[in-house]
Structure 1
Amino acid sequence: MMQTWRIILCISMVTAKSPNILLIIVDDLGYGDVGCFGNQTIRTPSIDKLSTQGVKLTHHLTSSALCTPSRSSLLTGRYPSRTGMVPTPPSRFGVILFLASSAGLPQSEITIAEQAKSKGYKTGLIGKWHLGWSESKYNDSVFHPLNHGFDYYYGHPLTNMQDWYDDGSSVFYSQNPMIHWQALASIIAIMLPMYFLYRKKYIGAVILSLILFLICFVWGYVFFAFHHVTLFNSLLYRNFDLVEQPINLETLSERYTKESIEFLENSQKENVPFLLVVSWSHVHTALITSKQFRGKSKHGRYGDAVEEMDYGTGQILSSLAKLGLADDTLVYFTSDNGAHLEERGLHGEVDGGVNTPFKGGKAQTSVDGGIRVPSIVRFPNQIKENIEISEPTTQMDMFTTISNLMGADIPKDRFIDGKDIMPLMKQKEKITPNPFLYHYCNNEIHAMRYRPPKGNQIWKLVFKEPNYMPGETKCAGLVCACKNAIVLDPPVFYEMTSDLGEQKPIPSDSSEKYRNLRDILMKELDDHVKSVGTINSQLTISKLLWNPLLQPCCNFPSCKCTDPKYS
């Protein structure tokens, strides 16, 4: 009898320490794009239902307002400055632009998937990766998901782009419609003086010839790389195998749903705990959906994509319940950054969402519209249903929270920024374990946040703000560039519990109270910067450039194939 009880106790302890983990990441979903976070016109019944079954995190923040750095932080629990997933001058591109480049999340980093594998979990990633591929040789796959702790991968390694759908839309050309004429003008500007110098037989003509050659080469390289961005980047992989090029976007969401459900079914049959990351291609452009959802929402292609993503999320959650796994699974739903406000379609239609009630959007790190995202955690029998937490939390916290749930050791050889927020979500604690948070725009901190130990006020100190167009909260061009941000002297405070839209700036030198508050924050900022040290950037110009020697291609030279599983 005693032996039987020991077996039962042992089984119960293993079950308690080995919950399943399901992470659902949406691309560019705005805070105000789903019903449970305030939207009244886009239909999101699956996400709304999920919010009633757990905790709604209303002050949940990303580490960056761009996808590559924010996703690196979610997986590692570390600010992107620590992992090198930020550019340093002269580079200013905060995301990986080409699959055939040398940039990526270093193998020395420890991801949540590696934490799970160390505890015997089956791990899978379905969907977007955007953290690098090969480093120095063709298909060396140094940065591949399977080399970062995942057992199974099915998805697109880069990011969905306008150019991937054959309707004439193009990120590059829509932002630079006169670029052909600019290139021609540059060449003519060199050729004319060169012609006269040649006639005079001046040595300067030789130098100008070299300059002309260099300009032509650069323009040719840029045109070739971006003109063929679909061919180079629209690739779908199953593990290490390239199975589709270019991707059929109309069926992609449906396939991701099927692959996710298949992973859950296999895990249930094998009776092993799992960590599954579902990383939707929606709602990043191109906004292409299946016929079932096309033209059905009140907000054009963007609304259609949100509703298809919600449907797929609902199908996965329903499968979890049918398999009897729901009660033992922590579900985390979030977005990689705020909605993109500047995004426009071929005919000028809005292709981005809303971040109401917050100011700004994607690529704007110093305002909450770029970094505060709709997030939900459901964990039956552990977290109460239908509650809200307005304390500041971050995506980095999920690394530590989930690691502790799985019984995995938190790495001691590096600085882990994420905190365990399970006591907060269980309402055993009332105040966030994150008193200070730092908001990076590339390699610079443009703002920081402070939650004092007493009271309920939350302060944000802003050092730089986006350079908006007059009367707008968006910038000229595709995104707000970090290098164009306006320096605030003195920095200003916003009280984020009463001024959600950041409309009432308070100069930090306006009174002794605010000077003292600023001193507290500046001391913490100095300590943080020292702890980061010198940034070893993975997003340098040389690493981000398209490298033809790293370019994958199926069925060379056509570079076309269709996934045989779904053909």
Structure 2
Amino acid sequence: MTNTTLRWDAPMALAALALFAAFSFSARDVRGAEAAKPNIVWILADDWGYGDVQCLNPNRGKIATPAMDRLAAQGMTFTDAHTTSSVCTPTRYGILTGRYNWRTHLQKSVLYGFSEPLIAEDRMTVAGLLKQNGYATGAIGKWHLGLDLPFTTDERPKGNNPDNIDWKGRVGGGPVDRGFDYFYGISASLDMPPYIYIENDRFVGEATATKAFQRKGPAEPDFEAIDVLPMIGKKAVEFISKQDSSKPFFAYVAFTSPHTPILPSKEWQGKSELGKYGDFVMQTDAVIGDIVAEIDRAGFGDNTLVIVTSDNGCSKAAGIEAMQAKGHFPSANLRGSKADLWDGGHRVPFIARWPGVVQPGSKSDQTVCQVDLMATCADILGIAMPPGAGEDSVSFRAALSDKPIASTRKGLIHHSIEGNFAYRQGKWKLLLARGSGGWTAPREKQVPAGSPDGQLYDMSADPGETNNLFDSKPEIVAMLLADLTADVERGRSTDGPDATNDAPIVVWKGKQ
């Protein structure tokens, strides 16, 4: 056997060392980006359809969204991202708790401006988790998860125009009592009184006037709905500008737009040629651009995970049919819109930017949900999920690096405004409703007699949910129904000890 000696001449050695150094430096860069706790900025639009973002709907979208398009070019676009519900309050509960809202007493509809807190005092939130791990936490904008408002009497108000609010009292049960260091915003949707800003746990002024932004109620005399979106942008920029590199931060920025009242500022009126809604979408996009620009200006861009998404699909109040006549489809090729079980109600824009981790201009077709924020944050920090928290949350951290998500959740549960359930597992989607489950025709009472009891769609072949396979594939229906029922009854949909729902739950409403 011949002995062979490997000889390295100087040029070869230098080249090899250079290659090794380059690889090591690149690897250190990526590890460094992950090792340093990233800032996390979550921007949540309100009633913004999947097709309202130009880069997501290039063929059927007519509204210019340059800030979102730029963010997509810098980061990753998720094409199959979902809210937990097709309406406001339930979605927000899921984002902040990692738990489906219907496990609480709120199993249909939404809260209002004078409602009590939905998030229990002892429940861990994303903000609380991050705060425990050294983050500064701020919430800006729309809360819509209930508050312990101060009253001059022991009786809680009834209706939208109570006369026993103590405008100088402490506002409890809100963001600063649920993990946030700072809050500036409003109690609920912009069409729900009281019309007054709240900073931390105090009202900003007193609601001594009465105004009606669709609903009549108490208002601070200088409060105007048209000013709220610009104010949210301003306060978000201020919060970011006050941070420094010595401490990571989490900013939860919840817009009031393009939800009703649809009130674009004067400089945006007429910009879209699609009416007020199109103008408001353009203004919303511009405010997103302002916030991202401040992240970069302040020097945080390289170590900040920015996620921009929406709380549900486009509302019919936007005038969907009129926009479609002009060539703009707010749900793109999806069926339905806000409030519905069909994907137009809950599949939403979801764009993530994280330099050094997320590949610029990338796309992911993996199915993700906003309830997954908590587990993702824990995964990023390399910590275990706290016991009794985030029962429905699965980390999508791997997807940000274009790797498969390792999920212990069998399927994803959807929920409509009327409290109907749907279940997505791989390509299959089961709807426990005969109609939309929401506001789009046919609603449940409009479905013709003799129609199937539910709906089953192959989302890979039929993303528009037009070919109902419910009667032809009973074995698939039975399998999905069993898995959905188990996820509901176990009090959690991920691996772990069984948990308890807060109230009894009817899985198949209307089923005789």
Question: TM-score, with normalisation over the residues of structure 2?
Answer: 0.77
* Cα distance in 2 between the residues matched to 1:377 and 1:410: 22
Q: Does 1:496 align with 2:459?
A: yes
Q: Which residue of 1 is the match for residue 214 of structure 2?
A: none
Q: Does 1:239 align with 2:205?
A: no
Look up the SS of the partner of 1:234 in the other structure.
Answer: coil
Q: Does 1:446 align with 2:421?
A: yes
Residues 412-468 of structure 1 deviation map (CA, whole Å, 9 limit, x = unaligned): 2256211111112212227766541112235844321111xxxxxx11112204369
Cα shift at 1:281: 1.1
- Where do residues 465-476 of structure 1 align in structure 2 (5 Å cutoff)? 465-466=434-435, 474-475=440-441
Q: 1:340 aligns with which of 299, 311, 315?
A: 315
Cα shift at 1:256: 1.7
Alpha-carbon contact 2:148-2:174 (below 8 Å) kept: yes
Q: Which residue of 1 is the match for residue 20 of structure 2?
A: none
Q: Does 1:357 align with 2:320?
A: no
Cα distance change, pair 415–379 in 1 and its aligned pair in 2 (3 A): closer
Alpha-carbon contact 1:58-1:374 (below 8 Å) kept: yes
Q: Does 1:100 align with 2:114?
A: yes
More deviation, 408-417/485-494: 485-494
Cα distance change, pair 125–281 in 1 and its aligned pair in 2 (3 A): same
More deviation, 487-496/389-398: 487-496
Cα distance change, pair 16–233 in 1 and its aligned pair in 2 (3 A): same
* Cα distance in 1 between the residues matched to 2:171 and 2:203: 12
* Cα distance in 2 between the residues matched to 1:70 and 1:485: 27
Residues 473-508 of structure 1 deviation map (CA, whole Å, 9 limit, x = unaligned): 8249xxx6x888889644332111221111111134
Q: 1:124 aligns with which of 115, 133, 138?
A: 138
- Where do residues 143-182 of structure 1 align in structure 2 (5 Å cutoff)? 143-161=173-191
Alpha-carbon contact 1:96-1:130 (below 8 Å) kept: yes
Look up the SS of the partner of 2:268 in the other structure.
Answer: coil
Look up the SS of the partner of 1:127 in the other structure.
Answer: strand
Q: Which residue of 1 is the match for residue 17 of structure 2?
A: none
Cα distance change, pair 402–76 in 1 and its aligned pair in 2 (3 A): same
More deviation, 235-244/24-33: 235-244
- Where do residues 213-252 of structure 1 align in structure 2 (5 Å cutoff)? 232-243=193-204, 245=220, 247-252=223-228
Q: Does 1:507 align with 2:470?
A: yes
Alpha-carbon contact 1:421-1:433 (below 8 Å) kept: no
Q: Which residue of 2 is the match for residue 266 of structure 1?
A: 242
Cα distance change, pair 429–15 in 1 and its aligned pair in 2 (3 A): closer
* Cα distance in 2 between the residues matched to 1:483 and 1:433: 37
Cα distance change, pair 343–13 in 1 and its aligned pair in 2 (3 A): closer
Cα distance change, pair 235–502 in 1 and its aligned pair in 2 (3 A): same
Cα distance change, pair 486–283 in 1 and its aligned pair in 2 (3 A): farther
* Cα distance in 2 between the residues matched to 1:444 and 1:158: 20
Look up the SS of the partner of 1:319 in the other structure.
Answer: helix
Residues 335-389 of structure 1 deviation map (CA, whole Å, 9 limit, x = unaligned): 00000125569xx98799711211111111x200001001111111111111111
Look up the SS of the partner of 2:490 in the other structure.
Answer: helix
Alpha-carbon contact 2:315-2:338 (below 8 Å) kept: yes
**Structure in which a larger fraction of residues adopt helix:** 1
* Cα distance in 1 between the residues matched to 2:34 and 2:466: 49
* Cα distance in 2 between the residues matched to 1:130 and 1:391: 29
Cα distance change, pair 432–357 in 1 and its aligned pair in 2 (3 A): farther
Cα shift at 1:42: 1.0
Cα distance change, pair 44–434 in 1 and its aligned pair in 2 (3 A): farther
The letter for the 2-side match of 1:517 is I
Cα distance change, pair 382–433 in 1 and its aligned pair in 2 (3 A): farther
Cα distance change, pair 474–19 in 1 and its aligned pair in 2 (3 A): same
Q: Which residue of 1 is the match for residue 64 of structure 2?
A: 43
The letter for the 1-side match of 2:238 is E
Task: Mark the runs of 5 or more structure 1 residues left unpaired by the alignment.
Answer: 1-8, 88-93, 162-228, 452-457, 539-567
Look up the SS of the partner of 2:251 in the other structure.
Answer: strand
Q: Which residue of 2 is the match for residue 401 of structure 1?
A: 376
- Where do residues 507-546 of structure 1 align in structure 2 (5 Å cutoff)? 507-508=470-471, 510=472, 514-532=473-491, 534-536=501-503
* Cα distance in 2 between the residues matched to 1:281 and 1:78: 23
Q: Which residue of 2 is the match for residue 302 of structure 1?
A: 277
Cα shift at 1:121: 0.7
Q: Which residue of 2 is the match for residue 557 of structure 1?
A: none
The letter for the 2-side match of 1:102 is E
Q: Which residue of 2 is the match for residue 60 of structure 1?
A: 81
Alpha-carbon contact 1:339-1:361 (below 8 Å) kept: yes
Identity across matched positions, percent:
29
Q: Which residue of 1 is the match for residue 90 of structure 2?
A: 69
Alpha-carbon contact 2:116-2:146 (below 8 Å) kept: yes
Q: Does 1:29 align with 2:44?
A: no
Q: How many equivalent pairs are there?
A: 431
Cα shift at 1:48: 0.5
Look up the SS of the partner of 1:396 in the other structure.
Answer: helix
The letter for the 2-side match of 1:31 is Y
Cα shift at 1:524: 0.8
Cα shift at 1:141: 3.3
More deviation, 23-32/375-384: 375-384
* Cα distance in 1 between the residues matched to 2:83 and 2:448: 22
Q: Which residue of 1 is the match for residue 129 of structure 2?
A: 115
Alpha-carbon contact 1:22-1:329 (below 8 Å) kept: yes
Cα distance change, pair 109–136 in 1 and its aligned pair in 2 (3 A): farther
Look up the SS of the partner of 1:267 in the other structure.
Answer: coil
* Cα distance in 1 between the residues matched to 2:96 and 2:301: 23
Cα distance change, pair 459–32 in 1 and its aligned pair in 2 (3 A): same
Look up the SS of the partner of 2:77 in the other structure.
Answer: strand
Greater RCO structure (CA 8 Å; 6+ sep): 1
Cα shift at 1:334: 0.4
Look up the SS of the partner of 1:321 in the other structure.
Answer: helix
Alpha-carbon contact 1:29-1:353 (below 8 Å) kept: no
Residues 250-281 of structure 1 deviation map (CA, whole Å, 9 limit, x = unaligned): 3322222221111111112x731100011111
* Cα distance in 2 between the residues matched to 1:534 and 1:416: 11
The letter for the 1-side match of 2:194 is N
Task: Mark the runs of 5 or more structure 2 residues left unpaired by the alignment.
Answer: 1-27, 152-165, 206-219, 492-499, 506-512
- CA-based RMSD: 3.1
Look up the SS of the partner of 1:429 in the other structure.
Answer: coil
